[in-house]
Amino acid sequence: MNSHAPNIRPVIRQLDDAAINRIAAGEVVERPASAVKELVENAIDAGANRISVDVADGGKTLIRVTDDGCGIASDDLPLAMSRHATSKIDGSDLLNIHTFGFRGEALPSLGAVGRLTIKSRVPGEAAAEISVAGGKIGAMKPAALNGGTVITLRDLFYATPARLKFLRTDRAEAQAITDVVKRLAMAEPFIRFELRDVSNDPRTIFKAEAQSGDVVTALKARLRDVLGADFIDNAIAIDAEREGLHLTGFAALPTYSRGAAVAQFLYVNGRPVKDKLLTGALRAAYFDFLSRDRHPAAALFVDCDPQLVDVNVHPAKSEVRFRDPGVARGLIVSGLRHALAEAGHRASTTVASATLGAMQPEPTAPRVYQMDRPSLGPRAAVSTGFAEMAQEFSAQVVETPAPVSDCEEAPDDLPLGVARGQVHENYIVAQTDTGMVIVDQHAAHERLVYEKLKRQMAETGVAAQALLIPEIVSLSSGDCARLLEIADDLARFGLGIEAFGGDAIAVRETPAILGEVDAKAMIHDILDELADLGASQSVQARVEAILSRVACHGSIRSGRRMHAEEMNALLREMEATPHSGQCNHGRPTYVELKLADIERLFGRT
């Protein structure tokens, strides 16, 4: 028996407007941060240059958004509180949308679950005010306001108290509001934003002044304000275009990665989105440079004709659907990979900062002064010098026909400088014009060999080995169709598949470099990635993992003493090879220390 079937015949009834608005509020207003997002987006759509947000108790008791936009005419205020009433579109074309809002649901939804007051003034008219509480609209009355709009929302969810039980602590809700304002501020660098907590101890949580200049300069300055100087100092500018889609923004170097995906900000036509397709493309662009437990940092903006993307997918408008998802994904992957390749051997400056921090002296034992040291005797004290020390320690350049210091190359002509010695048979010490560089010889050479193997693979392709007996994998009809759509891409990496009738595919070839392969497990891994990211790098990742392993075994080993010519040749090859600033797992291959920083370590400044 169907447990959902009632015992009596159900009666269809029309819900009243108050119930409809409360239901709509459940989709649009999930928490205080959702309310802030809707109200700030309305202020941006109104052409505001200054937006301030005041909250109390994590937005539960007060949210107030003030802007200097065009305002709402007094005659339109009652209509603004009605569902599906909007000035953004006329309803004739739901794809040609150039504004944040267009559904006309935010204000009536907020008024249905809280106490909402709108005070507004348009140029040339008197200010007016209207209130709505629990879905009941009050009378309009005159107000005092210079211009723009002030929207005050008090006691959120007082009309639906059950929703209050699902809210988190005041601190957590306040943090969510901060994240929302920062995301919107990144997309609008020419607008001034301010967020204040006006609870018991009023304070400014976030402030970003309006920027000037061209778009790239303004965006860079705004990202510095929001994400910090470290991000901008270690990010590369992105500018790529493909089939009507334009990608801009900044992406951090692989060595400036994060332990979680908390520094990934994606926008479509200026709208912050959390889209699985775009985040999957971002991860795919970095998958060859980062280990699985590290995540890239980026702020990326995709702009296109509104007809090429559907933003009317979800009431919260946080998801989008591209007309051609493959083009959007390919643009992000190729644009980021091209920019990362152009960064060459560059590594993040935070590596040097961490190194300098590790070098700070930490006394672990009482100081031993010279007078307390055991004497070596007059003769030993005279004879013991750098020549004798060099026999015991590895900080030297050996078996070279000419001293390193006499090298014809000048440090100021070379980004990674000239080798001056080797420490512990693994670290090359080089002098640059502005300081020094310490190179992990094994990690650096491993990356160089890996990049060379990848170039060879791209030129000759991945060799495939034919299976004596094709492996038949039974799947659903949908999974079969998804796999066959990317059969050509899989063939490029040596995995040959074809339809086998019914709901099955036949695996006829596997990549030779992988040796014996569990074809069924590989097929299911590919399907999992397709479901999760919209694309799969499973085969490519496995092939390149083997190349990485080969590169590791074929590179200069730790513990090998190198000649000066070898060390300098390694430095020059690093300068000429893309991605050489990090090893195959995203760790830095070298550390650069500026002379000024070194002098500070010794108190010389």
| Rounded CA separation 289/447 (Å) | 10
| Rounded CA separation 235/253 (Å) | 6
The one-character DSSP state at 405 is G
For 347-365, letters b (16+ CB in 10 Å) and e give bbbbbbeeebeeeeeeeee
Pairing state between β 50-56 and 192-197 = parallel
Q: What is the domain extent for residue 100?
A: 17-207
pLDDT for the residue 361: 55
Q: Is residue 385 over pLDDT 60?
A: no
Domain count, the chain: 3
141 and 30 inside one domain: yes
The phi and psi torsions of 132 (rounded to 5 degrees) equal -145, 135
Q: In 161-276, where do the E strands start and end?
A: 192-197, 203-208, 235-242, 245-252, 264-268, 271-273
Confidence of residue 512 (pLDDT cuts 50, 70, 90): confident
Last residue of a domain, one of 147, 176, 207: 207
pLDDT for the residue 404: 44
C-alpha triplet 543, 545, 549: angle, nearest 5°? 120
In a domain, 43, yes or no: yes
**CATH number of residue 242's parent domain:** 3.30.230.10
pLDDT for the residue 18: 66
With contact defined as beta carbons under 8 Å apart, do 257 and 317 qualify? no
Minimum mean pLDDT among 17-31, 259-273, 358-372, 459-473: which range? 358-372
| Rounded CA separation 66/44 (Å) | 11
Last residue of a domain, one of 183, 207, 231: 207
Share of the chain above pLDDT 90, in %: 32
CB half-sphere exposure, 30, CA atoms < 13 A: 12
Average pLDDT over residues 294-323: 84
pLDDT for the residue 386: 38
pLDDT for the residue 362: 53
Confidence of residue 483 (pLDDT cuts 50, 70, 90): confident
In a domain, 588, yes or no: yes
Confidence of residue 599 (pLDDT cuts 50, 70, 90): confident
Identify the residue with better confidence: 107 or 227.
227
324 and 404 inside one domain: no
- Here the tokens at position 457 are 């693979």
Q: Is residue 22 over pLDDT 80?
A: no
In a domain, 329, yes or no: yes
Confidence of residue 478 (pLDDT cuts 50, 70, 90): confident
| Rounded CA separation 416/589 (Å) | 12
pLDDT for the residue 93: 53
pLDDT for the residue 541: 66
Confidence of residue 390 (pLDDT cuts 50, 70, 90): very low
Instruction: Write out pLDDT tens, residues 65-83.
Output: 999 999 999 888 888 887 6
Average pLDDT over residues 117-132: 93
Confidence of residue 23 (pLDDT cuts 50, 70, 90): low
Residue 181's Cβ-count burial label (10 Å; 0-12, 13-18, 19+) is buried
449 and 336 inside one domain: no
Please name the residue that has the structure tokens 């070194």.
598
507 and 494 inside one domain: yes
Q: Is residue 59 over pLDDT 90?
A: yes
Average pLDDT over residues 45-57: 95
Confidence of residue 405 (pLDDT cuts 50, 70, 90): very low
CB half-sphere exposure, 277, CA atoms < 13 A: 20
Identify the residue with better confidence: 213 or 85.
213
Instruction: Write out pLDDT tens, residues 265-291.
Output: 999 999 899 888 898 889 888 877 887
Beta-bridged to residue 115, according to DSSP, are: 133, 154
Average pLDDT over residues 354-373: 52
Instruction: Write out pLDDT tens, residues 125-176.
Output: 999 999 999 888 888 999 999 999 999 999 998 888 888 888 999 999 999 9
353 and 277 inside one domain: no
C-alpha triplet 324, 325, 331: angle, nearest 5°? 100
Q: Is residue 356 over pLDDT 80?
A: no
Share of the chain above pLDDT 70, in %: 76
Minimum mean pLDDT among 203-217, 350-364, 406-420, 491-505: which range? 350-364
pLDDT for the residue 87: 59
pLDDT for the residue 383: 35
In a domain, 159, yes or no: yes
435 and 291 inside one domain: no
Identify the residue with better confidence: 131 or 254.
131
Confidence of residue 317 (pLDDT cuts 50, 70, 90): low
In a domain, 2, yes or no: no
Pairing state between β 418-423 and 427-431 = antiparallel
92 and 144 inside one domain: yes
Residues 6+ apart with CB under 8 A from 392: none
Identify the residue with better confidence: 162 or 322.
322
With contact defined as beta carbons under 8 Å apart, do 251 and 238 qualify? yes
Last residue of a domain, one of 207, 229, 251: 207
| Rounded CA separation 508/464 (Å) | 10
Measured CA to CA in angstroms, residue 151 lies from 77, 103, 179, 454 at distances of: 12, 18, 20, 57
**CATH number of residue 440's parent domain:** 3.30.1370.100
199 and 253 inside one domain: no
507 and 412 inside one domain: yes
Q: Is residue 85 over pLDDT 80?
A: no
Residue 287 identity (one-letter amino acid)? F
Confidence of residue 40 (pLDDT cuts 50, 70, 90): very high
Instruction: Write out pLDDT tens, residues 524-563.
Output: 888 887 776 666 666 666 666 666 666 666 666 677 888 8
With contact defined as beta carbons under 8 Å apart, do 561 and 391 qualify? no
336 and 414 inside one domain: no
In a domain, 5, yes or no: no
**CATH number of residue 155's parent domain:** 3.30.565.10
In a domain, 441, yes or no: yes
349 and 330 inside one domain: no
192 and 239 inside one domain: no
Q: Residue by residue, what is the 3-state secondary structure of 183-205?
A: HHHHHCCCCEEEEEECCCCCEEE
pLDDT for the residue 517: 78
With contact defined as beta carbons under 8 Å apart, do 111 and 158 qualify? no
For 423-461, letters b (16+ CB in 10 Å) and e give eeebbbbbbbeebbbbbbbbbbbbbbbbbebbeebeeee
